[in-house]
Chain A
Amino acid sequence: MATLHTKSAARAMMAPAVIALFVWMIVPLALTLWFSTLRYSFYGIDTPFVGFENYTYFLTDPRFLSAFQNTLILVLGVLFVTVVGGTLIALLLDQAFFGQSAVRLLVLAPFFVMPTVAALVWKNMMMNPVYGVISQVLAALGLPPVDWLNNYPLLSIIIIVAWQWLPFATLILLTSLQSLSEDQKEAAEMDGAGPLSIFFYITLPHMKRAITVVILIQTIFILSIYAEIFVTTGGGTSSSNLTFFIATLIQLDGDVGTASAGGIVAVILANIVSIFLVRLVGKNLEA
């Protein structure tokens, strides 16, 4: 149905989107690469070429190593909680009970809460060692209060981010669960399969693709967590991830060169992660 005429029209229609995204991808990357080879500060006058100096400086900064570790812990921690928790809650919501759509709305709600609100509500009203609801509940049970953000900053941030993303994982996994045909389960039941073997041999393989999607998409977003750290701990070696650390380099230190080197390192790491992820789960997505 595509004639030459419609083909060139199609190309013209795609051009703005393709060009916009191409420029968005290439120009900042090229500039970052260029700046990363300069000694360039908001407070300096000259911007001399220094080769790899900024990279050495960035990679040997002890804050880099801690930021790198925190990034890994944050991503893996949130993925673990949301995938396992999301699967369990999806299985629960797939059962027959009264008020299904109402409970769905309740479970879904945190996803729509903006990151700064989620983080501040948890920091002040849930995790505060004196007034926080968690401490009050612990006190009622006769347990000592916990100063979450001071003593366990990274764990606290994992809890907050996992709360925000649990609804997403649940919703995707539930959608996938509902497309599983009842016949298959019934047939397995007739053959004498128990609920556990039905879950591991029928339900879980069916959900593989959805779990893959959840992991991929969440990883992209969680690598770039910023606001939750900004309003809770305000950074520091115990809770900064790479995104936050690099943002600090330019926002507070005005150190364009080192921040750019950090940006390039982050891009390389993200690419390694995505290649690794795509390869690990590529087969799943093809189906």
Chain B
Amino acid sequence: MARGISPTRKIGMTVLAWAVGFLIFFPILWTVLTSFKTELDAIAIPPKFLVFDWTTENYAAIQEQRNYFSFLMNSIYLSLGSTALGLLIAIPAAWAMAFSPTKRTKDVLLWMLSTKMMPAVGALVPITILFRNFGLLDSRIGLIVILCLINLPIIVWMLYTYFKEIPGEILEAARMDGASLVKEITQVLTPMALPGIASTILLNVILAWNEAFWTLLLTTTNAAPLSAFIASFSSPQGNFYAKLSAASTLAIAPILIIGWFSQKQLVRGLTFGAVK
């Protein structure tokens, strides 16, 4: 696009692109704005855009009333726990497939991807019953295992595509120097693989944080994360838009920021390396 572009065209495109961006972003912007309104201003007709009495009372109310903190902690436990467990299982597997590939490696990878095709509802009944019988309903550990398993194919794939890019000659050189398998992994491979592992962590935290099938169906209070906390606002109980907005803003802010930082890696991870 380095060729001569008329300034008028560029300005026109700027207006159009910003308009589209604003329109798509508007529901989020509106939520953040509403979170700073009083409940009365939140339902004012006509709506108040920027001129209203800015207040942080909703944030205070959320943190006090509805044990928001325990939901937040559960979201953190679940997303970090499932990510850590997933990495523990996936890093060795992805390493082996990237550096000691066999004829069947591609089949194994495709098979792993195919487990993602299985609809969650096909496993819902037995998981519910197993969880009931083993007292795992509404437990963090049970949910961590489930969240780890549903995202494991994505973690393996993503790590695999990153590991593939590390030149094999470096490993061979390390082996010539007599490095053991453990040393090879910890001292040669890991430093080179860290960026890829970091992106994988980010993507998996995003996916686990926003998961809303298993978390809604397998928890009630003890292990319920923020997605379940927000869902509890769905039953109408008077005017609650401002508080819903404050809770929503708190729930999405950390992930939005992480997501904005890792947008490029996101493409790779979610397309299993098919689009870079």
Residues of A within 8 A of B (CB): 1-2, 6-7, 9-11, 13-14, 16-18, 20-21, 24-25, 27-29, 31-32, 35, 89, 92-100, 102-118, 120-126, 130-131, 133, 136, 140, 163, 166-168, 171-172, 175-176, 179, 182, 186, 209-210, 213, 217, 220, 223-224, 226-227, 230-232, 234, 242-243, 246-247, 250-251, 256, 259-260, 262-264, 266-267, 270-271, 274, 285
Contact = CB atoms under 8 A, between A and B. Distances in A.
B129 A21 contact: no
B252 interface: yes
B162 interface: no
Given A133-B30, A136-B46, A111 B267 contact: no
Contacts of B194: none
26 contacts: A2-B100, A10-B96, A11-B96, A13-B93, A18-B108, A20-B149, A32-B126, A35-B129, A97-B10, A97-B18, A106-B22, A106-B25, A107-B24, A109-B28, A109-B260, A114-B255, A124-B241, A125-B27, A131-B241, A166-B24, A186-B3, A226-B216, A230-B231, A243-B120, A250-B128, A263-B121
Nearest to A170: B24
Given A108-B259, A230-B231, A231-B234, A172 B271 contact: yes
Given A1-B172, A32-B126, 8 more contacts: A2-B102, A97-B13, A110-B27, A121-B28, A123-B234, A125-B34, A230-B231, A242-B121
Nearest to B22: A106
Contacts of B255: 112, 114
Interface string B218-243: 00000000111011011000000100
A260 B67 CA distance: 36
B234 A230 contact: yes
B125 A111 contact: no
Interface in B10-25: 10-11, 13-14, 16-18, 20-22, 24-25
Contacts of A131: 43, 45, 47, 241
B51 interface: no
B271 A213 contact: yes
Interface in B80-131: 89-90, 92-93, 95-97, 99-100, 102, 108, 112, 114-130
Contacts of A256: 125, 129
B24 A116 contact: no
Contacts of B210: 112-115
B256 A113 contact: yes
- Among the interface residues B1, B5, B126, B172, which one has the most CB atoms of the partner chain A within 10 A? B126
Nearest to A174: B267
B122 A266 contact: yes
Given A116-B231, A271-B117, A32 B125 contact: yes
Interface string B134-155: 0000000000000001001100
- Among the interface residues A13, A102, A210, which one has the most CB atoms of the partner chain B within 10 A? A13
A1 B98 CA distance: 12
Contacts of A262: 121
Contacts of B118: 25, 29, 267, 270
Nearest to B114: A274
Contacts of B153: 21
Contacts of B58: none
A171 B259 CA distance: 13
B266 interface: yes
A108 B270 CA distance: 14
Given A13-B93, A114-B252, A21 B112 contact: yes
A74 to B, nearest CB: 14
A270 B119 CA distance: 7
